[in-house]
A and B are shown apart, each in its own frame.
Chain A
């Protein structure tokens, strides 16, 4: 069965510190992985997707098929990064998205 696991409900770091939000998935085919972000009082929006291999707002994520992971990383966290982050999975042949339970990132000054 398809599944997305985000083991941390809350992650607190200080401004300027590195941050890594963990995401592990279970999927039998070729997955497509995404990170969505929800800032306070805003709607969910796409942060990045693995097929684009892009860096958005300093965040990157690498798909590791061996470890079935798609961790989100940023070398130097900023206070404006504080938000709820959701890892999501979709797969070829079906266009449903499966979301993880989310990690709340709190960047302290």
Chain B
């Protein structure tokens, strides 16, 4: 089945370290998104990409960067991790055009000590 996968699923790191979270999809979707989930705050959009050459900031992009290496891959980087970036991170994809459904990955739980 076409799917959205995230690696790693869990990661513990220390303040100041560089971290990369990876997202891959086999759905053939053009659009990919990175969200952060914090308790009581729901999902907040970090970055989104409508195709390989298109990258856009979301609501909370400070401290994060992304790379769209191919249609199927969208990576999120924390250049210098800090404790308040401890959260659950979700990748999502959607087809281009209209108000299409977003398909979510299983999430990556990141802890910054």
Contacts and interface: CB of A to CB of B under 8 A. Distances in A.
A43 B102 contact: no
Nearest to B100: A95
Contact of A49 (B31, B33, B101): B101
Q: Which of B41, B43, B45, B106 is the most central at the interface, judged by chain A CB atoms within 10 Å of its CB?
A: B43
Nearest to A103: B42
A43 B40 contact: no
A96 to B, nearest CB: 6
A102 to B, nearest CB: 5
Interface in A46-105: 46, 49, 51, 86, 90, 92, 95-102
Interface residues of B, number: 23
A108 interface: no
A interface residue count range (under 10 / 10 to 19 / 20 to 34 / 35 or more): 20 to 34
Given A92-B99, A97-B102, 16 more contacts: A6-B42, A34-B101, A43-B104, A44-B43, A46-B101, A51-B99, A90-B99, A95-B48, A95-B50, A95-B100, A96-B45, A97-B45, A99-B35, A99-B43, A101-B40, A101-B42
